[in-house]
Structure 1
């Protein structure tokens, strides 16, 4: 028997709180306690706050009598207080939604269908980068989010390190890989890896147990999606996460292509080319490893461009992901959206605010900041111009979209449960050398979630 919506929300809130190490108390004020003419809006990225404050000023000018109140919270606090707010009735009118949380919120029934609001039902998907709008439709066909930005994956590198190794930018953009011998990508990693005695990974006498600079930085094991770890490799084999593009009911972690790729990828750590599992921590992310000289390359998302560009003493470069066995490169295409809560205190105003957030009027402002790539095409162009003005060539990210070599973030029910199963399973492979065949057992457990209804 299916539990009530309120019980399911409480369960979800408890799970999020446990994962974040937080308690469900002291919820931030949401839309329920605001004046009737106020629209409350939550986001987590402090870097984007100034841009959205400018958007709010523009919106208020076009909508006399309406005021936008923006609340910015850190990532963990954000999701804990948002979910708790659904219980207490203190949720905001509008919030920045993440695709990894989207399916769960649809299942809980806490999102407002935007095609039922006058201000948002006529939004034209054609103004966005292809594929973004489709990700925010539920299994019932309703739209629950309007795209706000998008991201892809690339290789970041320290030009000083690569130049010292005699490696050109062109070489880094022409790499290929395969799960048998790693292709030119693995050869590159070996060459860029240097042990404590100054011996490179492709030279005689290399000591894999005492490495000074790893070819590739560690960024944890990737959990269920491996977005910034292994997804570019598994995606370039033709493998897909599930049996359907969106809202699948069967996962494919038992597929030979997936397991062969994971075996090769984490096998790089055994060879000394990939930093070990223990190298990664919240305070020692891949960008820190690159900046400190502990790693030559780092796989990461476009939302991290500014962070890498600000590393002291580092001239950062960005290169395309390697071409895979299919003859093509690949990158996950992810994106955020703005959603209206089902019980928004000011639903009419919320709809108008979301429509404004989804328009070029706001997204062009966001693009001019050069922090993310807005979903609207004109906003993307402004972001590229802003990055270029700072001397940053971001074409490795945009080319994936132009070449149509992207694939979508997996969108299914039970996302939190799937992550809870896959995260330790993947860490066991990376950290402890567990055979990839153990992922077949994990895949059976995931499929049981769908068979048993969670």
Structure 2
């Protein structure tokens, strides 16, 4: 690692604390190679442990040492390991971090292995492999492992009491002028301390016990489970291109009018203030306790939502917007190989196995995430339905081609440092939505600078 790139990684580690991990297994005495594999999602551990057992049975000379950290700890530990040049051989990667690691040359280019082994990238959901290419498009730095979209989770009893059916929720429409049938629905789902609903006379918007919809924070420049379905269904996109966009569009009128409408739900009492939403009580806990009637949340959290709810719940797709279509970010994780691994061949063998139908079918049956391989996704849908969810609320975006891929850039942390306070000020009512134009200018100025600044 050159000095500048090592310094850049060291800077990302400032103020970090060393924290523990959940490790899996002890190296086998007869294994010639031990590969360290890191992931952050504990709910996926059982599935990947099974994959590792199957892999090791066919490759007794390779042992998979698996370590799991919580989300924040994971990136702290990974950055520290990269700085120390002692990173795991293989690790789960995220689109928001990928760009930075790619430009710091921390990821092994898999192109030669893919070509040599005739590895089939077309088996994955359309658009997923492209998220993990180098900016030039010539290199492949990760193999997709899953995909996700977002949907509208709802309390079935509250929906029924408000006079709505499941079919009604699949037809909801929104617009930035009056909110459409979607805002009418959120009003009907909101209840004040006197039992008056938001669409009834005498509703007290300052004394709400059940909000029509919840959220956790202002969403910064991404807003995946906060505001993204609204501007994305209003003719907006994050940047000029994706991946590796350089010009962002937070100054777009379609974006700003969408955010202005979303923020207006707070004043109407249908959505909590930012202070309440970010008070430290999690959205899943608040939803599970009945403080929120609905919640925009990701498909990856289906089992977590279900485990916290004391009522029957289901999920509907995001509402149809002014574009005439609904929309959702489609994100996806990938497995990447650290460029400094001492065992590139063995690491590729493990990564390509995780990207096989044998492993991804196991993940599908765990009903935690949607596997990246198309045929494995088909197995996951009935597995999720056994949990009581209509998983087609998420896959409908693939069928209708209404997904927008998660933005990939090399300076997401810098973008976030600009957009996080700017968006928070707007949602808190401290700044007008037009202030996002200035924030957008700052983002684009930052993106235009020499990347080695």
TM-score interval for Structure 1 and Structure 2 normalised by the shorter chain: over 0.9
TM superposition shift of 1:388: 2.1
Which of 290, 293, 298 aligns to 1:293? It is: 290
Is 1:414 aligned to 2:408, yes or no? no
Q: Contact 1:45–1:74 at 8 Å: present in 2 too?
A: yes
TM superposition shift of 1:427: 0.9
Deviations 1:42-82 (A, max 9, x none): 00111111111110111112223111110111111110110
Partner of 2:74: 78
TM superposition shift of 1:118: 6.2
Matches within 5 A, 1:321-336: 321-336=318-333
Partner of 1:135: 131
Which of 96, 110, 114 aligns to 1:114? It is: 110
Cα separation, 1, equivalents of 2:162 and 2:84? 58
* Compared CA separation, residues 293 and 346, structure 1 to 2 (3 A): same
Which piece of structure 1 moves more, 350-359 or 302-311?
302-311
* Compared CA separation, residues 273 and 209, structure 1 to 2 (3 A): same
Structure 1: gaps spanning 5 or more residues: none
| Paired residue secondary structure (2:394) | helix
Cα separation, 2, equivalents of 1:193 and 1:67? 53
Partner of 2:270: 273
Matches within 5 A, 1:219-368: 219-281=216-278, 283-368=280-365
TM superposition shift of 1:26: 8.5
Matches within 5 A, 1:99-248: 99-117=95-113, 122-141=118-137, 142-248=139-245
Partner of 1:54: 50
Partner of 1:10: 10
| Paired residue secondary structure (2:153) | strand
Q: Contact 1:60–1:68 at 8 Å: present in 2 too?
A: yes
| Paired residue secondary structure (1:4) | helix
| Paired residue secondary structure (1:230) | coil
Cα separation, 1, equivalents of 2:434 and 2:367? 43
Root-mean-square deviation (CA, aligned residues, Å) is 2.1
Partner of 1:451: 448
Cα separation, 2, equivalents of 1:158 and 1:432? 29
* Compared CA separation, residues 197 and 28, structure 1 to 2 (3 A): closer
* Compared CA separation, residues 86 and 226, structure 1 to 2 (3 A): same
Deviations 1:266-312 (A, max 9, x none): 11111111121122248522222221111111000001111122234
Matches within 5 A, 1:58-69: 58-69=54-65
Cα separation, 2, equivalents of 1:120 and 1:179? 52
Matches within 5 A, 1:354-393: 354-393=351-390
Cα separation, 2, equivalents of 1:311 and 1:336? 25
Cα separation, 2, equivalents of 1:224 and 1:207? 32
Between Structure 1 and Structure 2, how many residues are aligned? 445
Cα separation, 2, equivalents of 1:238 and 1:402? 19
| Paired residue secondary structure (2:314) | strand
TM superposition shift of 1:245: 2.6
Partner of 1:23: 17
TM superposition shift of 1:218: 2.2
Deviations 1:2-49 (A, max 9, x none): 9721111212233xxx5xxx32688999xxx99851111000111111
| Paired residue secondary structure (2:52) | helix
* Compared CA separation, residues 6 and 405, structure 1 to 2 (3 A): same
TM superposition shift of 1:119: 8.4
Partner of 1:404: 401
TM superposition shift of 1:433: 3.8
| Paired residue secondary structure (2:171) | coil
Deviations 1:402-430 (A, max 9, x none): 11111111111210010111111111111
Q: Contact 2:22–2:68 at 8 Å: present in 1 too?
A: no
Cα separation, 2, equivalents of 1:3 and 1:444? 31
Structure 2: gaps spanning 5 or more residues: none
